[in-house]
Chains A and B, each alone.
Chain A
């Protein structure tokens, strides 16, 4: 789960990491009030869950409370990279000497977290890592031992700071590691971490992504996600999540449902191989009940762009008869509004096939054959 910048900064501030003066605004009047309180030139930042909003016009500068009001009027309700702006963050404009990067993220290859720092912050860190790896400092964190003060000191030295500045930066790095662990962060970064002209350090921007599997340990955010939305997921994706289905919207017209993430991914690939375009990824998971299958089918059919539905199930712990019952349930409720291609093999295959063929639905044995059929149906409909 991606947190908004203002949520991430609130957490950083709770851990006493310096953030710019300012506050959140839901209306132009509120933006004006905040700018008045800050009493200095401000930055008005659209709160959207997407990287690169600056280039897309989501960050504006204002020299007076009046300008802050106008800027926020422009941003509030507008769309930045396809996402609607619900609120803006109004913050003092920092006087920048240098922009640094510091973040904690997961390193899959080493099966551990890694602390990453750079003397060139403010830009995409992955690009820096690719184009100028010498500007990146990395410290791998032993999970049983943690990120310790001397690790932070090693990084700070390499960034070129000493004395009081070293002490300050070390403290900030250690606090950010604490945040990353306490919030089960997949990624927790300050980019840029600004060194001001006075030599102080302030987290000018912050990103925090919580591991979805750890959300149960962060009930406030889990509740926020389910009740208020505020997520990079679209409506259908959020609905799927609530019903325990893994769904990703794609831009084609063949709705795909299957059991098992790998099998569904391979199904999408095979559909494309035969010249089709999948409308979605939908994994009903292992051992899906007929209810879950019906919910999956409802979800896919609710997408107006879907022209044909391709169901690919290989039953292991999933039972083919449950899948068949789920399909029939939807059929009896709303009828077959779209053509369907079904491949059903594995556990209780005979029973599942019997249920469907008796209802006049044809079932295929090979996923390749079924994919080809689905693509043909779409082409014939043109």
Chain B
């Protein structure tokens, strides 16, 4: 067996699913299990004692963790109850939360992030497709077949756009070490900077792709980090929303230019100033990566693809 690769999650990862009996929770638990991900337990209040795809279900996280060892919770709980589910997971000392739920109020999200920070837990999302280390572990709702084991780390604020770019990378003969969706909300747990740090430490990751969009200043912070730290690996970026009007929310709660901050122009300029190549079109990302990684013996090295 190959050594585990990627960041945050690998073959050893054990997860519980909160909201496992709902239609989304149950459907994606099946797909995650099919991918080989270890889902050891599920939690849905009042459904304790049942099973979903043969995974035992408990009423509380506390009970689930008494019977099973786990380090991650994947949360599919509906928005009005999602923050409480996240707090429950944090009180259970889980190290990583993957919050798939969209439409969680910001006031709830800031409290979850503050609590997670206090105990050093990582929150992926909310409003994320999740995280995948191809051929090892998938925690989320992304279509697995478009990813292949490889050396490109991807961090993104969007779902389908990530798939678009990941397909291109896979077709180019490159694959992904880990692909992590930060989430489309204004307040999310992980930033590009934190993911860049992880990818820098990961010896399997040869290059990083950042997929940003309008709103906030996460991309500008990443650019600042890359230039001041002298980031060791090539980074290619794409920023969606160059043509988005000011003050309008573009689908994602977090995709909005407010008071002149968060424009695509500002992000693209910051990246370019930091020496990061910025793709004009999604399909250019794979080409730019291929160019940057030329000469490195990483093409076609995906024999363990699922």
Instruction: Tell me which residues across on chain B come within 8 A of A268, comparing CB atoms.
Output: 241, 243-244
B111 engages A144 (CB within 8 Å): yes
What separation, in Å, do the CA atoms of A295 and B255 have in the docked complex? 23
> B154 an interface residue at 8 Å Cβ cutoff?
no
Most chain-A CB neighbours within 10 Å: which of B104, B214, B255, B264? B255
B171 to chain A, nearest CB (A): 11
CB closest residue in chain B, given A232: B247
With A316-B141, A368-B283 already in contact, the answer to whether A263 and B158 are too (CB < 8 A) is yes
Chain B residues contacting A367 (CB-CB under 8 Å) are 164, 282-283
Residue B120 is within 8 A (CB to CB) of chain A in the complex:
no
B191 shortest CB reach to chain A, Å: 9
**Are B187 and A108 closer than 8 Å at their CB atoms?**
yes
Interface residues of A (CB under 8 A from B): 106, 108-109, 111-113, 126, 142-144, 181, 184, 186, 211-214, 216-217, 246, 248, 250, 258-266, 268-273, 278, 281, 283, 286, 314-318, 345-347, 366-368
Contact flag A260-B160 (CB < 8 Å), given A265-B214, A269-B240, A283-B251:
yes
The answer for the CA separation of A317 and B28 in the assembled complex, in Å, is 10
Which residues of chain A have C-beta atoms less than 8 A from B34's C-beta? none
Q: Mark B202-220, 1 if CB is under 8 A from A, else 0.
A: 0000000001011111100
Contact A314 B187 (CB under 8 A): no
Can you name 5 extra interface pairs (CB under 8 A) apart from A109-B221, A367-B282? A113-B110, A126-B260, A144-B111, A250-B243, A260-B158
Alpha-carbon distance A367/B280, docked complex (angstroms)? 13
Give Cα A106 to B215, complex, Å. 13
- Contact of B36 with A by CB under 8 A: no
Partner of A211, one of B105, B129, B241, B281: B105
- The 10 closest A-B CB pairs, nearest first, are A262-B158, A261-B251, A260-B160, A262-B161, A214-B105, A265-B240, A126-B259, A263-B160, A283-B251, A246-B251
Would you call B233 an interface residue if the criterion is a C-beta within 8 Å of the partner chain's C-beta atoms? no
| Residues 173-191 of B contacting A (Cβ, < 8 Å) | 184, 186-187
Residue among B106, B243, B280 having the largest count of chain A Cβ atoms under 10 Å:
B243
B12 adjacent to chain A (CB < 8 Å): no
Residues of B within 8 A of A316 (CB): 129, 141-143, 159-160, 163
Cβ-based interface call for B114 (8 A): yes
| Cβ contact within 8 Å between A273 and B280 | yes
CB-based contact A261/B186 at 8 Å? no
Check: B292 CB closer than 8 A to any chain A CB: no
| B219 CB to nearest chain A CB (Å) | 12
Are B242 and A269 in contact (CB-based, < 8 A)? yes
For the complex formed, measure the closest distance between the CB of A154 and the CB atoms of chain B, giving whole angstroms: 20
B113 at the interface (CB under 8 A from A): yes
- Judging by beta carbons under 8 Å apart, are B143 and A213 in contact? no
The CA-CA distance from A250 to B243 in the complex, in Å, is: 10
A-B contact pairs, 14 of them (CB 8 A): A106-B106, A108-B187, A109-B218, A113-B110, A144-B114, A248-B250, A260-B161, A265-B251, A265-B255, A266-B240, A346-B143, A346-B146, A347-B143, A368-B283
Q: How many Å from the CB of A248 to the closest CB on chain B?
A: 5
B160 touching A211 by the CB < 8 A rule?
no
Q: Which residues of A contact B107 (CB under 8 A)?
A: 143, 181, 184, 211, 214
Residues of A with C-beta under 8 A to B143: 315-317, 346-347
Contact B187 A212 (CB under 8 A): no
Which residue of the partner chain, among A142, A216, A260, contacts B159 with CB atoms under 8 Å? A260
C-alpha gap A316/B243 in the complex (Å): 25
Tell me whether B104 and A213 are in contact (CB under 8 A).
Answer: yes
Q: Does B156 contact A (CB under 8 A)?
A: yes
Residues of B contacting A108 with CB < 8 Å?
186-187, 215-218, 254
Task: Render B88-101 as a binary contact track against A, CB cut-off 8 A, 1 for contact.
Answer: 00000000000000
Given A143-B111, A261-B251, A316-B142, also A106-B187 (CB < 8 A)? yes
B162, B163, B221, B249: which has the most chain A beta carbons within 10 Å?
B163
Query: Inside 8 A of A212's CB, which chain B residues have their CB?
Result: 249, 253
- Over the window 135-177 of chain B, the binary record of Cβ atoms lying under 8 Å from chain A Cβ atoms (1 yes, 0 no) is 0000001110010000000001111111110010000000000
Asked if residues A266 and B115 are in contact (CB atoms below 8 Å), the reply is: no
Closest to B104 in A: A213
Q: Within the assembled complex, what's the spacing in Å between the Cα atoms of A144 and B109?
A: 11
Least CB separation from B112: chain A residue? A143
Chain B neighbourhood of A347, CB < 8 A: 143
B103 at the interface (CB under 8 A from A): yes
**Nearest chain B residue, comparing its CB with the CB of A106:** B106
* Nearest CB in chain A to that of B109: its residue: A111
Q: What is the CA–CA distance of A56 and B304 in the complex, to the nearest angstrom? A: 65
Please determine whether B243 and A261 come into contact, CB atoms closer than 8 angstroms: no
Closest-CB distance, A321 to chain B (whole angstroms) = 15
Determine if B290 is an interface residue (Cβ-Cβ < 8 Å). Answer: no
Q: Does B248 contact A (CB under 8 A)?
A: yes
- Asked if B22 is at the interface of the complex by the 8 Å CB criterion, the answer is no
Bound-state CA distance A317–B104 (Å) is 20
Known A-B contacts A108-B217, A248-B248, A265-B240; the reply to A259 vs B186 at CB < 8 A is no
Most buried by B among A213, A263, A315: A213
Chain A residues positioned under 8 Å from B156 (CB to CB): 262
Nearest Cβ on chain B to A141's Cβ, whole angstroms: 9
Contact B80 A216, beta carbon cutoff 8 Å: yes
Q: Are A272 and B242 in contact (CB under 8 A)?
A: yes
* A281→B242 CA distance, assembly (Å): 13
Contact call B105/A262, Cβ cutoff below 8 A: no
Partner of A272, one of B186, B243, B249: B243
Establish whether residues A262 and B184, one from each chain, have CB atoms under 8 Å apart when the complex forms: yes
Is there an interface contact between B163 and A314, defined as CB atoms closer than 8 Å?
yes
Q: Is B271 an interface residue (CB 8 A)?
A: no
Compute how far the CA of A214 lies from the CA of B104 in the bound complex, rounded to whole angstroms: 7
Q: Is the CB of B114 within 8 A of A142?
A: yes
B238 interface contact, C-beta 8 A: yes
Chain B residues contacting A261 (CB-CB under 8 Å) are 158, 184, 213, 250-252, 255
Q: How far is the CB of A210 from chain B (nearest CB, A)?
A: 10
A248 touches B245 (CB 8 A): yes
Report how far A124 CA is from B157 CA in the complex, Å: 30
